[in-house]
Amino acid sequence: MSQFRGVVFLIWMYGLILILGLLFLPVLVLPISWARWPVDLWLKMMFWGIRVLLGVRIVVEGREHIPDGGALIAPKHQSMFDVLIPWQLFSFPALILKQELAWLPVFGWYVMKLKNVAIDRKGGAGALRKMVRQAATLAANQRQILIFPEGTRVLPGAKAPYKSGVAALYKEMNVPCVPIALNSGLCWPAHGLNFRPGTIIVRVLPPIPPGLDRRAFMQQLEHSIETASDELSRKDNNV
C-alpha cells in the first residue's frame, strides 16, 4: 500500500511540474515576481497532495524564531520535503542546490529564473567561492539563503559530516543563521516509494547570531540541529 501511495503521489508531483511549468512558460521572460505565482500555485497543490494523497500532517514549531530580512537557513535534510517547506516559512528563500537540478527540463528553468544558486559539487574551492559570492549578493538584497549543512539526504537518526560551505556562507553573509530540525524521513523516504502516513514536525530553532568564529559556529549549529532532530525522530509518528 505504501508503494502504491508513493507512485500516485510522485505522478501528482511530476505531473504538476510538467503541466504548470509548460502552461506558465511565458513568465520566464517576465520579471522574477511573475515566476513566483506558478511556483506558489505548485507548492499549494503539492501540500494538498502531501496531506490528502499521502495522509501526512505537517506541524511547524518555533515560528517566532523566523527573523525578518536576510538570513542563512540551515535545515536537516532527510527528504525532498525539506526543499519545499522553507517556501512556506520564509518570504523568498534562495536554495543552494546541486548543478544537475538546474539542468532538468522545466523544473530547472524555474529554479534558475528564481535566482537559486546551483553549485558544481565536483568543482572544489573555485565552485565554493563562486557559490559564496552569489549567495552574498542575494542576501544583500534581503533574500534568505538555504543550505543543507550535510549536503545530502540522511535517514532519521543518522547524520553525515557537516560541510564547509555553511561556515563560508555564515562568515561572508554576516546574518543570523536559522537551524531547522525535522523528522520528514519518517514519512517521505530519502529514496524509493515507501511513503508512510503520519506527522512531519518541522522545528525552527533559535537563530545563531553572526560573528562567531568558525569552530564555535559549526559546533553550535550541529549540536542544535542533531539534538532536536533526534528528539523529533523518536516521537510517536502516528497521525
- How many domains, in total, are found in the chain? 1
Q: What CA–CA distance (Å, rounded) separates 80 from 189? A: 8
Q: What are phi and psi of 237, to 5 degrees?
A: -100, 10
User: Residue 134: its pLDDT value, please?
Assistant: 85
pLDDT one-digit tens code per residue, 60-92: 999 999 988 789 999 999 999 999 999 889 888
- Is the residue at 120 inside a domain? yes
- Is the residue at 49 inside a domain? no
pTM: 0.90
Confidence category of residue 239, pLDDT binned at 50, 70, 90 = very low
For 106, the domain range is: 57-233
Confidence category of residue 237, pLDDT binned at 50, 70, 90 = low
- Is the residue at 41 inside a domain? no
Do 136 and 173 form a contact (C-beta atoms < 8 A)?
A: yes
- Is the residue at 51 inside a domain? no
Mean pLDDT of 137-149: 87
Q: What does the block give as the cell for 55? A: 495522509
Q: What CA–CA distance (Å, rounded) separates 233 from 228? A: 9
- Is the residue at 29 inside a domain? no
- Is the residue at 30 inside a domain? no
1-5, 36-40, 105-109, 166-170: least confident range: 1-5
Confidence category of residue 234, pLDDT binned at 50, 70, 90 = confident
- Is the residue at 198 inside a domain? yes
